[in-house]
Amino acid sequence: MKRLISIVGTTGIGKTRLSIDLAKHLNTEIVSCDSRQFYKEMKIGTATPTDEELAEAVHHFVANLSINDYYSIGQYEVDALQKLDDIFSEKDVAIMVGGSGMYEKAVVEGMNDLPEADDENQKKLLSIWENDGLTALQVLLKELDPDYFAIVDKDNPRRLLRAIDIIWQTGKTYTENLSLPKARRNFETIRIGIEAPREVIYERINRRVDIMMQNGLLEEAKGLIAERGRVALQTVGYTELFRYLDGEWNLDFAVEEIKKNSRRYAKRQMTWNKKLHNVNWVSYDNSFQESLSLLSKLLG
């Protein structure tokens, strides 16, 4: 039996370090399911693994796309499963890691053969977004599917556009679409979740934002401002700095907003992860040793 070890947890909790340590220990490779880290132009603001970290273990789906590329969760599911087949042809275990819950779930459980984006729907939704703002999309999704709205990353227009498009195409809520029977996987998944007290998570997020700023996040945002309309850039860390660069906010306030919105994102991740099945929880301050102990029992 081939096994996928999927590492879940909030932003900034230490998933990257644990994934690398486990990959080295198990002599295997890492598949990223962090949809923000796909984009090579956004390395600092998405906490993409450093060159040194990437050199420690083989990574897939990290900085492999441009912000100009269209890439759907359905395409990712196909690509990730193919990559896992490649890994499993030589190894019994693979590691998956990332903070994008829907992408993780697509690989582990499947996406119900959801239809590809409808061009007419996309045009309508983009018009709503451009003319009435993100709030209009949020209100629309909340009316159409309050259950999915409760867990979706509400600041990510890509998620909102996709869900509304599917609802319009199928006549069913996105929640109903996601609950349809899925094709069985030819591997077993072991989910390892890293947990920490909420105050620790928030403290780590605040510190990580400060480090991002020291590492050049503002300069990265300046270099991307001409592309600010790209969906990939409608995300925490960039939207706030664009408002600073527009002269709307001062820098200290923008940085505090990044921290606040990152904490809100972590809270949504916690809600999502609590609903996942069969998560084996380990402590943030001893995650590697606890994971090894757990895997020694599960892998035999």
Whether pLDDT at 73 is above 80:
yes
Is 223 annotated as ligand-binding?
no
Is 11 annotated as ligand-binding?
yes
- pLDDT, position 184: 84
Is 128 annotated as ligand-binding?
no
Is 12 annotated as ligand-binding?
yes
Q: 98-148: per-residue pLDDT in tens?
A: 999 999 999 998 877 778 889 999 999 999 999 999 999 999 999 999 999
Least confident of 28-42, 53-67, 143-157, 235-249: 143-157
- pLDDT, position 116: 83
Is 99 annotated as ligand-binding?
no
DSSP-derived secondary structure for the chain: --EEEEEE--TTSSHHHHHHHHHHHHT--EEE--TTTTBGGGTTTTTPPPHHHHHHS-EESSS-B-TTS---HHHHHHHHHHHHHHHHTT-SEEEEE-S-HHHHHHHHH--TTPPPPPHHHHHHHHHHHHHH-HHHHHHHHHHH-HHHHTTS-TT-HHHHHHHHHHHHHHSS-HHHHHTS--PPPSSEEEEEEEE--HHHHHHHHHHHHHHHHHTTHHHHHHHHGGGTTSGGGSSTTTHHHHHHHTTSS-HHHHHHHHHHHHHHHHHHHHHHHHTSSSEEEEETTSHHHHHHHHHHHHH-
- Residue range 3-111+182-299 forms a domain whose CATH class is alpha beta
- pLDDT, position 218: 98
What is the mean predicted confidence (pLDDT) over 36-63? 97
What is the mean predicted confidence (pLDDT) over 224-237? 94
Is 171 annotated as ligand-binding?
no
Q: 192-209: per-residue pLDDT in tens?
A: 999 999 999 999 999 999
Is 48 annotated as ligand-binding?
no
Whether pLDDT at 216 is above 80:
yes
CA 209 centroid distance within chain? 17
What is the mean predicted confidence (pLDDT) over 73-93? 95
- pLDDT, position 299: 87
What is the mean predicted confidence (pLDDT) over 84-96? 98
Give the confidence band of 277 by pLDDT, cuts at 50, 70, 90: confident
Q: 239-276: per-residue pLDDT in tens?
A: 999 999 999 999 999 999 999 999 999 999 999 999 99
Q: 154-167: per-residue pLDDT in tens?
A: 888 888 999 999 99
Average pLDDT, the chain: 94
Handedness of CA 244, 247, 253, 257 (dihedral sign): negative
Q: Where in the chain is the domain with CATH 1.10.20.140?
A: 119-178
Q: Where in the chain is the domain with CATH 3.40.50.300?
A: 3-111+182-299
Whether pLDDT at 235 is above 90:
yes
Is 20 annotated as ligand-binding?
no
Whether pLDDT at 213 is above 90:
yes
Q: Are 32 and 97 in contact (CB under 8 A)?
A: yes
Give the confidence band of 90 by pLDDT, cuts at 50, 70, 90: very high
- What's the CATH fold of domain 119-178? Histone, subunit A (1.10.20)
